[in-house]
């Protein structure tokens, strides 16, 4: 039965296209603008599993020469729906969608080096509709590349590499891939003068001091300081770098200025007016288990507040905190839809996430819903309520009562950094510049546990099953911890990168904060404790590796992502009920799986180009756990289902 309804062109909130940090806004800024589908009364479409219909779509994908194409992505979206379902072809070029609700479907098939090809189908009668695709070759391969395919294709041995193979790729990876995907800028070509102009702007943006704080008053003012010679880890730089006016450059700008000449020369050489003889090296297409998955992507509404997704229906419900402290519920949130901006057509290239509707975090609830909180950092308490931060404090969303409670940080206290967690006693933990805070919700009181190494830029935070809070200190390659039962604090140090060639000067450059790092640095960013096990897993964003730490012995084991995947910016590791570690990749359109028993990585495809995943979660309720992936660019969150059991 056909249950979709047409989109209604209607009111939508005006997108705020730039940041106005300290001003309140909300979904209530209604503006009569067309172009947006208020998906009012929208019901069910495109469900992979819980569909009532048993009808499906299947077929074969071949290249123009008639050969079956393995590992091609086939996607479909029902008219009026905000969900997209994708599957991949097998060795015979065959694909098959799981049962889909009746409706009119737009379909498209694509693979790197081939032209995206579209079709339309209606599901109303019969069991399976057949739709074959023939994909012609695609000439401008560079337009379709994933970030790590760019890294694979860029040369290793230019004069700027200074005899250290791959040095410049890494310099770019460490300096230009945090604020936006690196593939976003590699797709551009400019003259030397224009690359210099861009570099100047980037260097300026990087100089935003992050996160020096003043430990007396613990105030946010310090982070607005553009010039400072404060060094990550404490103290000041031995040799200050001064700008033309004699003011000391901050840690991040120092790195940008140190590499400036090489970056401009290299980018002009490989992405300048003269076409560089680039050999486009693309990743192998997914095969076997990696191709045997279903990815369902749900569009995320506008609004930047808490959204609750019902995976069974795809319905989003939006909750907003009112000025009076009350909670408003909206069952028909507004969406901003422009399919050229959502990454579904890979030949449109990689977008920057600044202007996108993005979802940084996600948490699978215990009540069958998936929660999409605003901001960065989230956890569930023992009752299944969702915690995050905002409005100047820790925030609890009571999932039954559907209300927010804000636990304000005392006035004058340094704000939260990114990581948040809840311990077995229901106490809320958050990273902060000085270490970690713990909130006791019964009293509303916060306690600060200072880190051993100061100014390490505490980033992600997790609480293990023995109530130790762990936080990654991204700027100093350390993982700090606080024993919540004894109050003891300590830290584990990650050794510098030793297996990648670099010059002595590279080795001597000082650390940055979060935007960039020297190329010997690792940059532990997010971490998660195994809720059933004895290890904390951290991923090093710049270094491209996973670190495993025993929660009692503190023993450290490291696993580097193989080959080109090293450039994928592993983001958050999450351990499922089978002990498998799932890792989001923010600079590769892949989801990584690491099996600690075999010490092997497998990479699963994500059907959106430049999706830039962040804080993921696993749903352990199905027999084969499912992975949920929020996209920071492309305005979607995805559910990844495995048709073969990867844990078998």
| Site residues (vs ligand HEC, CB under 6 A) | 175-176, 178-180, 185, 188, 197-199, 201-202, 205-206, 263, 352, 354-355, 515-516
Residue 321 binds another protein, judged by CB under 8 A: yes
Least gap, CB of 48 to another protein (angstroms) = 27
Shortest Cβ distance from residue 196 to another protein (Å)? 9
| Residue 119 sits in the site that holds another protein (CB under 8 A) | no
584 binds, among ligand HEC, another protein, none (CB under 5 to 8 A by kind): none
- Round to the nearest angstrom and report the end-to-end CA distance of the chain: 37
Nearest 5°: phi and psi at 581? -100, 120
Q: Which of residues 502-521 bind another protein (CB under 8 A)?
A: 515
CB of 136 to ligand HEC, least distance (A): 29
- Distance in Å, CB of 255 to ligand HEC, minimum: 9
In terms of C-beta density within 10 A (0-12 exposed, 13-18 middle, 19 or more buried), how is residue 485 classed?
A: exposed
Closer residue to another protein (CB): 269 or 348: 348
- Residue 20 vs 443, nearer CB to another protein: 20
516's contact among another protein, ligand HEC, none, with CB below 5 to 8 A by partner kind, is: ligand HEC
Indicate the residue among 148 and 185 with the shorter CB distance to ligand HEC: 185
Report what 176 binds from another protein, ligand HEC, none; CB cut-off 5-8 Å by kind: ligand HEC
Site for another protein contains 282 (CB under 8 A):
no
Residue range at the interface with another protein (CB under 8 A); choices 24-32, 54-62, 478-486, 526-534: 24-32
Q: Sheet holding 103-110: strands in order across?
A: 117-123, 103-110, 73-78, 83-88, 293-299, 636-642, 626-630, 617-619
Query: Which residue intervals of 435-571 are DSSP H helices?
Result: 504-508
Can residue 303 be called a binding residue for another protein (CB under 8 A)? yes
Residues 6+ apart with CB under 8 A from 511: 231, 232, 233, 251, 475, 476, 517, 518, 521
Least gap, CB of 327 to another protein (angstroms): 10
State the minimum distance, in angstroms, from the CB of residue 67 to another protein: 30
Answer for which of 64, 91, 92, 355 binds another protein (CB under 8 A) is 355
Find tokens 């979206």 and name the residue: 77
Q: Which stretch binds another protein (CB under 8 A): 150-158, 241-249, 315-323, 379-387?
A: 315-323
Handedness of CA 569, 575, 578, 584 (dihedral sign): negative
Q: Identify whether the C-beta of residue 270 lies closer than 8 Å to the C-beta of residue 155.
A: yes
Give dist(CA 616, CA 574) in Å, integer: 7
Nearer to ligand HEC, 161 or 423 (CB): 161
Q: Are 357 and 374 in contact (CB under 8 A)?
A: no
Q: In this complex, which beta carbon is closest to another protein, that of residue 234 or of residue 273? A: 273
Number of Cβ within 10 Å of residue 550's Cβ equals 14
Binding-site partner at residue 449 among another protein, ligand HEC, none, CB < 5 to 8 Å by type = none
Query: Are the beta carbons of 66 and 104 closer than 8 angstroms?
Result: no
Binding of another protein at residue 349 (CB under 8 A)? yes
DSSP state, residue 354: G
CA atoms in the 13 A half-sphere facing the CB of 567: 27
Which partner, ligand HEC, another protein, none, binds residue 532 by CB below 5 to 8 Å per kind?
none
Binding region for another protein (CB under 8 A) out of 164-172, 182-190, 289-297, 541-549: 182-190
Residue with tokens 């959106």: 608
136 forms part of the interface with another protein (CB under 8 A): no
For the record, the structure tokens of 431 come out as 């990273």
Question: Distance between CA atoms of 527 and 540, rounded to whole angstroms?
Answer: 9
Among 131, 305, 569, 615, binds another protein (CB under 8 A): 305
Q: Does 157 bind another protein (CB under 8 A)?
A: no
Cβ distance 491 to 481 under 8 Å?
yes
Measured from the CB atom, the residue of 266 and 371 that comes closer to ligand HEC is 266
Closer to ligand HEC by CB, 200 or 557: give it. 200
* Under rule CB under 8 A, residue 363 binds another protein: no
What's the residue count for the chain? 648
C-beta of 50: minimal distance to another protein in Å? 30
Residue 203: half-sphere exposure toward Cβ, Cα within 13 Å:
19
Q: What is the DSSP letter of 494?
A: P
Under rule CB under 8 A, residue 188 binds another protein: yes
One DSSP character per residue, 587-647 reads TSSEEEEEETTTTEEEEEE-SSTT--B-S-EEE-SSSS-EEEEEBSSSSEEEEEEESS-TT
Q: Which does 199 bind (CB under 5 to 8 A by kind): another protein, ligand HEC, none?
A: ligand HEC
**Closest C-alpha to 471, from 486, 484, 482, 487:** 482
Q: 133-135 and 73-78 as β-strands: parallel, antiparallel, unpaired?
A: unpaired
Q: Which residues is 38 bridged to in the sheet?
A: 8, 334
Name the residue nearer to another protein (CB basis): 51 or 344. 344
According to the binding rule CB under 8 A, does residue 8 interact with another protein? no
Q: Is 339 in the site for another protein (CB under 8 A)?
A: yes
């Amino acid at each position: 039965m056909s249950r979709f309804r047409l989109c209604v062109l209607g009111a939508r909130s005006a997108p705020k296209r730039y940041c106005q940090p300290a001003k309140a806004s909300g979904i209530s800024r209604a503006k009569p603008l067309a172009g947006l589908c208020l998906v009012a009364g929208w019901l069910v479409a495109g469900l992979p599993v819980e569909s009532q219909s048993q009808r499906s779509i299947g077929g074969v994908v071949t290249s123009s020469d008639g050969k079956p194409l393995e590992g091609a992505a086939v996607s479909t979206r029902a008219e009026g729906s905000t969900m997209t379902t994708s599957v991949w072809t097998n060795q015979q070029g065959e694909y098959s969608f799981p049962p889909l609700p009746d409706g009119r479907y737009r379909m498209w098939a694509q693979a790197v080096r081939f032209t995206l090809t579209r079709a339309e189908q209606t599901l109303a009668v019969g069991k399976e509709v057949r739709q074959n695709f023939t994909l012609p070759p695609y000439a401008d391969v560079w337009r379709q590349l994933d970030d790590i395919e760019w890294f694979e294709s860029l040369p290793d041995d230019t004069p700027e590499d200074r005899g250290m193979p791959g040095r410049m790729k890494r310099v770019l990876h460490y300096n230009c891939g945090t604020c936006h995907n690196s593939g976003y800028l590699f797709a551009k070509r400019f003259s030397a003068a224009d690359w210099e102009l861009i570099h100047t702007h980037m260097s300026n943006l990087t100089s935003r001091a992050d996160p020096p704080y003043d430990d007396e008053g613990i105030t946010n003012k310090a982070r607005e300081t553009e010039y400072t010679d404060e060094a990550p880890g404490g103290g000041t730089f031995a040799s200050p770098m001064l700008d033309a006016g004699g003011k000391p450059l901050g840690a991040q700008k120092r790195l940008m200025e140190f590499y400036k000449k090489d970056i401009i020369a290299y980018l002009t050489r490989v992405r300048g007016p003269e076409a560089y003889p680039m050999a486009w090296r693309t990743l192998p297409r997914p095969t076997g288990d990696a191709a045997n998955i279903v990815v369902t992507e749900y569009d995320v509404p506008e609004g930047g507040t808490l959204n609750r997704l019902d995976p069974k229906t795809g319905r989003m419900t939006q909750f907003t905190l009112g000025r009076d402290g009350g909670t408003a519920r909206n069952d028909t949130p507004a969406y901003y839809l422009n399919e050229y901006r959502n990454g579904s057509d890979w030949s449109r290239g990689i977008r920057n996430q600044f202007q996108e509707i993005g979802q940084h975090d996600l948490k699978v609830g215990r009540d069958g819903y998936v929660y999409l909180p605003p901001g960065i950092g989230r956890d569930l308490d023992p009752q299944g309520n969702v915690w995050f931060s905002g409005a100047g404090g820790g925030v609890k969303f009571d999932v039954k009562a559907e209300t927010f409670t804000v636990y304000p940080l005392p006035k004058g206290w340094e704000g939260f950094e990114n990581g948040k967690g809840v311990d077995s006693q229901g106490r809320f933990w958050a990273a902060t510049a000085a270490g970690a805070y713990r909130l006791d919700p019964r009293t509303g009181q916060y306690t600060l546990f200072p880190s051993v190494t100061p100014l390490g830029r505490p980033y992600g935070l997790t609480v293990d099953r023995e109530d130790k809070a762990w936080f990654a200190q991204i700027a100093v390659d350390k993982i700090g911890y606080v024993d919540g039962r004894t109050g003891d604090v300590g830290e584990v140090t990650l050794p510098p990168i030793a297996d990648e060639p670099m010059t002595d000067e590279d080795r001597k450059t000082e650390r940055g904060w979060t935007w960039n790092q020297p190329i010997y640095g690792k940059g532990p960013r997010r971490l998660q404790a195994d809720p059933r096990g004895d290890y904390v897993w951290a991923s090093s964003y710049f270094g491209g590796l996973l670190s495993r730490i025993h929660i009692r012995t503190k023993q450290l084991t490291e696993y580097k992502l193989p080959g080109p995947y090293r450039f994928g910016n592993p983001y958050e590791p999450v351990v499922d009920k089978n002990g498998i570690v799932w890792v989001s990749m923010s600079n590769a359109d892949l989801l990584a799986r690491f099996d600690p028993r075999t010490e092997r990585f497998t990479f699963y495809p994500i059907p959106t180009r430049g999706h830039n995943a962040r804080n993921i979660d696993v749903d352990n309720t199905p027999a084969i756990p499912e992975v949920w992936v929020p996209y920071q660019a492309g305005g979607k969150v995805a559910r990844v289902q495995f048709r073969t059991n990867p844990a078998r």
